[in-house]
Structure 1
């Protein structure tokens, strides 16, 4: 990653897939991830979502030295960041949607995320645009942990998202955190990376699992 390492210490503007624009200073680079620092936040960005980056002008205000991140960056990788983020209040972006809560489990190609708003959400690892872990003293909505106990998924977890989807058959699910009617319904069947979803009025649509960013069940 010598190309990206040559940008270390540079204030940049970058575009991620899903039309997400970010600005900040590149402070670290791994084989599959880069770290952007801006406004007291460390954003960990999987490199495969990077569409382009370019140098950007800093604000006129004097830039202070970044505080220590939540965890060490030695031999940094996307998988290690996800593992280190478990139990820390975090923000994750899955395109046009942002979740705030906690990574509770990490499987082969998805993770479980516990949010005070959506409760348990299954998130495709390949669709996470960035993750921002906060320090251990930060909680969502400034709630005390006694008022917001982190609850693991009630359903046993499978190794892959496709297998987990099969466990959600016959349940009402919401895909991609999208309130549109064609993204919510009864998960009728999963077969060969395709799912059948029965909508409220009874019609059936077919969705390819590659395009599922998040899924959660109202029963989870």
Structure 2
């Protein structure tokens, strides 16, 4: 455990993370090898340390009542990969980019990316290095639609041939229409004409081509 973070265990803190304007706040309940865990009396937030921009104590609130409110299974050290693996098949929330988190299910964890199944975005390949947080909400079903529970999968759709690493998965999408980074910007969707690592050539709807460095690809979807 990081010696600088250890004194803050079981205290209420507020953190700023990359790409998110609103801080996260809650009780610091665990510090793993590459992430920390916050509990806001409702949800657990697993936050990779690499995206931690600022960290501060909000108030001294370390009473026994609050310590006992934290379930024991979350008091063991974790890594980002372990947290994602534990979340397979569990309704959860992730934040990667833009103004809105994604809701759905982690269905597979590969070497440096994972597969996320969302009722809104369908299958999304997410680069692990760009995951800002993983949260486990108290709600049992995605968007309160119990029927969608039947769509939960422990593996990706049969038609999806997964590569071991994210760069190879991008290469597998060559020659197909793709949406990058959740389509937050208009030039991040189109026809992926060529991948010559580390550069990608993406062709827009009017035939205009643009180049993008693979390190800036946070998510990829096949519409």
For normalisation by structure 1, the TM-score amounts to 0.89
Q: 1:31 to 1:184 in 2, by over 3 A?
A: same
Gap runs ≥5 in structure 1: none
Counterpart of 1:194 in structure 2 is 199
Greater shift in the superposed pair: 97-106 or 72-81:
72-81
Matched, 1:168 2:173: yes
Name the SS of the counterpart of 1:166 in structure 2.
helix
Gap runs ≥5 in structure 2: none
2: CA distance, partners of 1:188 / 1:14? 40
Counterpart of 1:124 in structure 2 is 127
Name the SS of the counterpart of 2:161 in structure 1.
coil
For normalisation by structure 2, the TM-score amounts to 0.88
Moved over 4 A (4+): 145-148
Question: What's the C-alpha RMSD, in Å, of the aligned pairs?
Answer: 2.1
Matched, 1:112 2:115: yes
Q: 1:32 to 1:199 in 2, by over 3 A?
A: same
2: CA distance, partners of 1:164 / 1:180? 21
Name the SS of the counterpart of 2:84 in structure 1.
helix
1: CA distance, partners of 2:5 / 2:59? 18
Counterpart of 2:15 in structure 1 is 14
Residues 149-199 of structure 1 deviation map (CA, whole Å, 9 limit, x = unaligned)? 135233110001111111111211111112432111000011122110000
Give 1:209-220 correspondences, 5 Å limit: 209-218=214-223
Q: Which structure dedicates a bigger proportion of its chain to helix?
A: 2
